Amino acid sequence: MNPASHLATLSAPPSDKSFQRWTLWLVLGLLLYPWIASPFFTFQVGAQALILGTIALSLSFLAGQGGMVSLSQMTVAGIAGYAMAILGMAEPTAASVNLGWPCWLAVPAAVALGTLAATGIGALAVRTEGIYTIMITLAVGVAFYYLAQQNILLFNGFQGISRVVPPTLMGLDWRSPVPFYYLALLVAGAALSAVTYLLCTPFGIALQGTRDNARRMRALGFQVTAHRLAAHALAGFIAAVGGVLWVWYQGRISPGTVGTGAMINVLVVAVLGGLRRPVGAFIGALVFVLLQNFAIDLVSRERFNLVIGGVFLAIVLFSPDGLLGLWQRLRQSWLRTGNTGANPRSPVQPQAGDKRVISPQPPVQQLPGDNHE
């Protein structure tokens, strides 16, 4: 078998009937979720987890499939969010600039600026590996945080820009819980489908090859730097779209949105779900949002990060592949145990102290026409 086709087979999602059935039930549940959940769970839990998962998906794509751990994905989302607040409709202030562009022009411009920023960050980081990539992207994120905090003309300093709301289209207020949830679900589903499909294309297979052995890929004639830069641009596009939704969800944007804590939170979300599987970003986001909303009932608000850190350490220690990896191991163990207990053809092994005589199996006689050597 061709190695490229074999890798594509491994990268593709399973196509058996059980997987399709579970996917159908999951999609149906997500579509019906706003009609059975309260507005709080629809907006504060469902929509927030979908948006945060979309941003974390960009990091999961870079780290899990390209081997590049970037801490600047929240920075890219913040750049797109600030661009949306400056270019689109927001509360005018005496200090900051607001151009008041229509939504159909402001949203593509904000996403384009975020993608361009991600491409520039990638141009600095693609020639490094490991801890150096992390440090470069972290330095860029911290630099943008202090720029947003100290600049008054564009970013309004520490106060940020308020009342950044989505427009009213087709007679619907997209800031309402149910319409906004479906908007976030549409964007998250499109991003997940695009990444899943991309991993089965020649570009996705080559990107995974650069993750495993960049030197061998160069020897085979692949442009490793170009593939990594393109991956940064694609991940930046996903993060930028998530950043526009994020600023609409919060209704405002400030330097705290792009701070070091926010950058680390995206990494925690991606690792919790599992970096090797794109859907893991959304599972990690759901767990993170649930802990963020309900862990305060168990511990004080000041100790919330202690709970998040404890869960993160437990997942990393017991399942490096995240919650999806833990579920896969438990599922395989359960199937292996079930098959062992239900196999009637397994030979009977004598136990210690067993006086029963187990007659050996007669040897299989070979017929004259069975020799094909």
Mean pLDDT in each 10-residue stretch from start to end of the chain (373 residues)? Answer: 44 55 87 92 94 96 92 95 87 65 91 96 89 93 94 88 82 86 96 94 93 91 93 96 95 92 92 89 92 77 75 80 79 74 50 49 48 44
- For the chain, counts of helices (H) and of strands (E): 16, 4
CB 266 within 8 A of CB 56: yes
Other C-beta atoms closer than 10 Å to the C-beta of 1 total 6
**Sign, CA torsion 244/65/17/3:** positive
Look at residue 253 in the predicted model and tell me its pLDDT.
93
pLDDT tens digits for range 38-61 = 999 999 999 999 999 999 999 999
pLDDT at 153: 86
Count CB neighbours of 58 within 10 A.
32
Nearest 10 degrees: CA dihedral of 206, 211, 216, 222?
Answer: 30
What is the per-residue pLDDT for 16? 56
**What CA–CA distance (Å, rounded) separates 18 from 279?**
17
Place of tokens 């940020």: 160
Q: What is the DSSP track for 50-119?
A: HHHHHHHHHHHIIIIIH----S-HHHHHHHHHHHHHHHSS----SSS------HHHHHHHHHHHHHHHHH
- In three-state secondary structure terms, 38 is coil
Tell how strand 161-162 and strand 168-169 pair up: unpaired
> Which pLDDT tens digit goes with each residue over 222-253?
999 999 999 999 999 999 999 999 999 998 99
Place of tokens 């438990």: 330
Give the pLDDT of residue 93.
57
